[in-house]
Amino acid sequence: MNKIAKAFMALTVLIFLAFISFMMFLNYVQKEEELQVERDMLKVQDEAHVDNLFTVYQNNISTCSRQAREAERDEAFIKENCIKPVNESIIGQWLQERGYGSLLETAE
């Protein structure tokens, strides 16, 4: 093989390797974008889950408070028998563990 053929062959291999590397890079970028979309979706789902739990929490407090007021109970009774138990429930504990404790009503 003469020098020109060897140089052409080397250049062809180099271009082929560059093309393969570029394709692998594009695949990597696409996968990273897909992973970021999945992370964003999980974050939105987590926020929706927290929102649903907080809605359940508020409904539990509201229902108990309404029933206590209908039974002509005072605020101390509501705090002790409605707010405190709901705050100590699984939903209340989960909201506190996730950093949403400031949203909970106080039983003090």
95 part of a folded domain: yes
pLDDT at 48: 94
How many domains, in total, are found in the chain?
1
26 part of a folded domain: yes
Category of 33 on φ-ψ map: left (φ > 0), alpha (ψ -120 to 50) or beta:
alpha
Q: Which residue has the higher pLDDT, 24 or 107?
A: 24
Q: Which residue has the higher pLDDT, 47 or 101?
A: 47
**Tokens, residue 74:** 């005072």
Range of the structural domain that residue 67 is part of: 3-103
Q: Mean pLDDT across the stretch 82-98?
A: 92
34 part of a folded domain: yes
75 part of a folded domain: yes
What integer best gives the mean pLDDT of the chain?
92
Q: Is the pLDDT of residue 73 over 70?
A: yes
pLDDT at 102: 83
**Tokens, residue 41:** 């979706």
Q: Is the pLDDT of residue 26 over 80?
A: yes
Amino acid at site 61: I
Nearest alpha-carbon partner for 105 in 60, 72, 50: 60
108 part of a folded domain: no
